[in-house]
Each structure stands twice: as C-alpha cells, then as structure tokens.
Amino acid sequence: MGGGGWSMDGRLLDDHILDLTGKRRPRVCYVPTASGDGPDRIARFHEALGDRAETAVLGLFWREVEDIEGFLLGQDVIYVGGGNTANMLAVWRLHRVDTALRAAWEAGVVMCGLSAGANCWFEGCSTDSFGAGLAPLLDGLGFLPGSFCPHYDGEPLRRPTYTRWVADGALPPGWAADDGVALCFEGTELAEAISERDGGRAFRVDTGGELPLEVRALAAAPERG
C-alpha cells in the first residue's frame, strides 16, 4: 500500500486483505518495528481489526516471541506498519526476521504493509529514513524485484524524486502508489492495483517515465458478523 488502511482511517484495503485468506476470522500479525513498536499504533491496530480478525503483534524492542519463524508461519496475514524503513530492516536482520518472513511468504502467508511496510518487500525504495528529506535506499528484502515509492500523491517530493532516481539509475525501475492504493502481487507478478478512495492512482516507473496502471475501485462489503 502506498498508504491507507487502518492507520490512515481507511477500511476497504484491510477488508480486501482479510478476504484474501478465505477465512472468517483470519489470524493477523502486526509488525510495528518501523515505528519502534509504538504502543499507540499497536492499540489502534487491535482496535481497528480486532472485530474482524484474531490479532497478534511481533514486537522486537521488548521481544517476547522466541521462535519468530514458527510464530509467523502460524499467521494468515503479516501486516507491516509504517515508519523508518532503514531502521526496520536493520533490526529485522539482527533478529533474523528477514529469513522468517521469507519462509512465511514462501508458505503462502499473505504479506502486506504500507509505506515502510510496502517498501521493505522490494529491492529498493524511496524513503525518508535518513532525515527530513527523501533518499533512495537499495537495501530491501528483495522478495519483489525492482523498487517502490509510497505516498505518491501524499507528499509533494515523492513523485519528482522517484522518477529522477529511476531515470538516473539510482533506483531500479519499479512501482509507485498513491495513498489509499495497493499493488497486489501473486508471487512476484503484479495481479492488479486497487484503491479504497476515488481517483487513486498507481504507476509502473522506468527510465522512460511513468506508465499509469488500471486501478480497480474497491466497493464496501457487507458488515462482518
């Protein structure tokens, strides 16, 4: 997700993610490393999804889970929050969360996230991890090839810097998504782009510029019982 879901007061993208599991009350694990395991975000996660899912949290700053890989393999959805992408990746590697995530991904667990939680799956990304400005980062997990830029319409510098970095070779060609828009991959192939708000856009970006993607608008589903 370029942005959206419960942390940005959205709901339709989260509903779609839960529906991908095919379960009435899927097990959803929130990974809040990028925000330093901030308690406010953890509380909001439980509040937002607790009526629709069995919620759990993988905390690393006050770690309680010993077998991280087994814990993640027991989830239906892994939901990575936003924050500092570079710090998150460094902490993950120290705790071997990177290898546990790959095992869960290969086992078919639904992987998702917004902002830093979207950046992480790619080889590279646009990030504000290093200060007030934006910078290219080539240190992602690399589950998905290429690069990613979140908040494409939500922050004015995201679009011009990302297109320039791709054109100059600072980042490999990749994908960009507005707030409220998600790119859905099956394996490493893009299946579709979806949006929980009107006019949401997504793009393939290469050295020649932007290629707009078709974006499917999500409709509100009946309330879950």
pLDDT tens track of the chain, all 225 residues? 999 999 888 899 999 999 999 999 999 999 999 999 999 999 999 999 999 999 999 999 999 999 999 999 999 999 999 999 999 999 999 999 999 999 999 999 999 999 999 999 999 999 999 998 999 999 999 999 999 999 999 999 999 999 999 999 999 999 999 999 999 999 999 999 999 999 999 999 999 999 999 999 998 755 544
Residues 135 and 159: beta-carbon distance below 8 Å? no
**Cα(70)–Cα(150) distance, rounded to whole angstroms?**
30
Q: Which of 7, 126, 147, 151 is catalytic?
A: 151
Total domains present in the chain: 1
Q: Which of 115, 126, 129, 147 is catalytic?
A: 115
Per-residue confidence (pLDDT) for residue 144, from 0 to 100: 98
In-domain check, residue 202? yes
CA 26 to chain CA centroid, nearest Å:
18
- The three-state secondary structure class of 191 is strand
Nearest to 126 by CA among 99, 158, 94: 158
CATH code of the domain containing 203: 3.40.50.880
Residue 125 pairs in a beta bridge with 137, 148
In-domain check, residue 181? yes
* Helix H or strand E segment including 29: strand 27-31
Quick check: is 151 catalytic?
yes
In-domain check, residue 221? no
Task: List, edge to edge, every strand of the sheet that includes 202-206.
Answer: 135-137, 122-127, 144-149, 174-177, 202-206, 209-212
Q: Could you identify the residue written with the tokens 């974006």? A: 215
In-domain check, residue 75? yes
Per-residue confidence (pLDDT) for residue 85, from 0 to 100: 98
In-domain check, residue 117? yes
In-domain check, residue 219? no
Per-residue confidence (pLDDT) for residue 222, from 0 to 100: 53
Stated pTM of the model: 0.95
Range of the domain at 92: 6-213
Per-residue confidence (pLDDT) for residue 24, from 0 to 100: 95
